[in-house]
Amino acid sequence: MARTGRISSRTDVVLFAVCVFLSLLAMVLPLRLREPVASALRRSLVAPLLQLQEGSERWRAAYLSSQREELKRDTLALAAARVPTLENENDRLRKLLGLGSALKWGFIPAEALQGRGRAEDFTITLSAGANAGVRERSLVVAPEGIVGLVQTVDPTLSLAILFAHPDFRVSAMSADGSAFGIVQPHVTGTGAQRDPAFLRSERYLLEMRGVPFRATLKPGAVVYSSGLGGIYPKGIPVGVVMGEIKTTEAWARTYILRPAVNPAELSAVMILTPQRAAAGLTNVWAGVGAVDSATRSIVLAGDSLARQAAAAEAAARRAALDSAARLLRDSLGRDTSAAAAAVPAPVTPARPAPTPDSAAAARARARRDSIQRERARADSLARQIPGAPATPRPTTTPEPVR
């Protein structure tokens, strides 16, 4: 027993020594001898395992590729989601450029940083201050119209009150100058009769008070600053009339205005220097509209050209279809004309030209004639083909002339 164990142990050691020797031999073999051995192993023993490994690598590559595709799709979706925001921003910046070119001088562009606190509802922080030339009581405008007034100026920042601030007042007038009044924030909840339920949800509304009773403003009319009072120059859009509200003031009318500028969408504004405001702003906003529309028309020019090309192509296609249909009708007409020649054509009584008052009668006559023609055609076909069943006559009877 012990002998068997010793022999086994000796065999193990020999086997181990042989393996170690062969390993060392493999290590010290020159490359030209080593490579055939490795190659034989790769082609025989390791080949199926390497195929398995290759399959796994391919799976992994496919998985990574699908992940990359998914990432690309997500990126595209994200980019597509950002497009409307970018378009809006682009539109606003284009309008601001239009305002800048209309103002020509005396303005300071600034970012409007809106606070989200309750106390910051009526104020905005502007990213330009005294260093940029902003002064107290400088006018803040946007491409759409009036925004507010600078109240506090720091070297790099300034604070402005919005038109929704309770202290805001501006003298305003209609576009034709027929109605004047004072525009101020519409403070809801102060009285039931001047506080319709549908307006409760509307923030930032304005009201134009003190409009003479004889002057009326229609909904949709634009109201501009009148220049009276000395702070706001004439011609800045303030808002659009939404409707009249009833007040206790019997000698004057009060109108609710939708402000020209939506503070929630305010991102970039222009601060006017006092000199620029004093120089007047008449026709600036008309110019802004013109520049904006010109830019839009340039942008849309490409679209309209494409539309024109598409319309021309559609017209050509329609013309081709019409000519084909006409050819088909003509050939059919030639086939049936021989049949129709065998039958005397129904005598159509001469009719006077239809007059506007006898249009209904003319329509009825035309219908009667067409029915008669149809009957004659059916009879002629029945005579030409004796075995053919007679075409049933239309049972429609002409309507009596009313």
Partner 1 sequence: MNWSATIRTVLLCGILILLHYTLRPLLAWRASADFLIIALLLASVRVRPGVAALFGFILGLASDSVALGAFGAGALAMTLIGFGWSRLKAVFFADHVLLNGFFLFLGKWAYEILMNLVERRLHGAELLMQILVWSSLSAAVTAVAGVIALMLLRPVLETRAA
- Residues in touch with partner 1 (CB under 8 A): 8, 11-16, 19-20, 22-29, 34-35, 37-39, 41-42, 45-46, 49-50, 52-53, 55-57, 59-60
Q: What is the distance between the alpha carbons of residues 322 and 162, in angstroms, rounded to a whole number?
A: 63
Query: Of the two residues 9 and 293, which places its CB atom closer to partner 1 in the complex?
Result: 9
Is residue 267 within 8 A of residue 96, CB to CB? The reply is no
Query: Of the two residues 24 and 342, which places its CB atom closer to partner 1 in the complex?
Result: 24
- In the complex, what is the shortest distance from the CB of residue 70 to partner 1, in angstroms, rounded to a whole number? 19
Q: What is the distance between the alpha carbons of residues 27 and 379, in angstroms, rounded to a whole number?
A: 110
Distance of CA 181 to the CA centre of its chain: 37
Query: Of the two residues 20 and 77, which places its CB atom closer to partner 1 in the complex?
Result: 20
Q: What is the distance between the alpha carbons of residues 231 and 233, in angstroms, rounded to a whole number?
A: 6
- In the complex, what is the shortest distance from the CB of residue 16 to partner 1, in angstroms, rounded to a whole number? 4
- In the complex, what is the shortest distance from the CB of residue 68 to partner 1, in angstroms, rounded to a whole number? 15
Query: Of the two residues 23 and 293, which places its CB atom closer to partner 1 in the complex?
Result: 23
∠249-254-258 over CA atoms, to 5°? 160
- Please report the DSSP string for 180-249 in residue order: EEEEEE--TTS-STTS-HHHHT--S-EEEEEEETT----TT-EEEE--TTSSSPTT-EEEEEEEEE--S-
Q: What is the distance between the alpha carbons of residues 154 and 129, in angstroms, rounded to a whole number?
A: 5
Is residue 85 within 8 A of residue 265, CB to CB? The reply is no
- In the complex, what is the shortest distance from the CB of residue 38 to partner 1, in angstroms, rounded to a whole number? 4
Q: Give the torsion sign (CA, 130, 132, 134, 135).
A: positive
- In the complex, what is the shortest distance from the CB of residue 39 to partner 1, in angstroms, rounded to a whole number? 8
Is residue 174 within 8 A of residue 217, CB to CB? The reply is yes
- In the complex, what is the shortest distance from the CB of residue 69 to partner 1, in angstroms, rounded to a whole number? 19
Query: Of the two residues 58 and 72, which places its CB atom closer to partner 1 in the complex?
Result: 58
Residue 109 phi/psi, 5° resolution? -75, 145
Query: Of the two residues 24 and 71, which places its CB atom closer to partner 1 in the complex?
Result: 24
Query: Of the two residues 46 and 341, which places its CB atom closer to partner 1 in the complex?
Result: 46
Query: Of the two residues 60 and 246, which places its CB atom closer to partner 1 in the complex?
Result: 60
Closest listed residue to residue 173, CA positions, set 277, 249, 282, 100 = 282
Query: Of the two residues 67 and 131, which places its CB atom closer to partner 1 in the complex?
Result: 67
- In the complex, what is the shortest distance from the CB of residue 2 to partner 1, in angstroms, rounded to a whole number? 16
- In the complex, what is the shortest distance from the CB of residue 21 to partner 1, in angstroms, rounded to a whole number? 10
- In the complex, what is the shortest distance from the CB of residue 162 to partner 1, in angstroms, rounded to a whole number? 59
The contacts of residue 149 (CB under 8 Å, 6+ apart) are 137, 138, 139, 140, 160, 161, 168, 231
Distance of CA 211 to the CA centre of its chain: 38
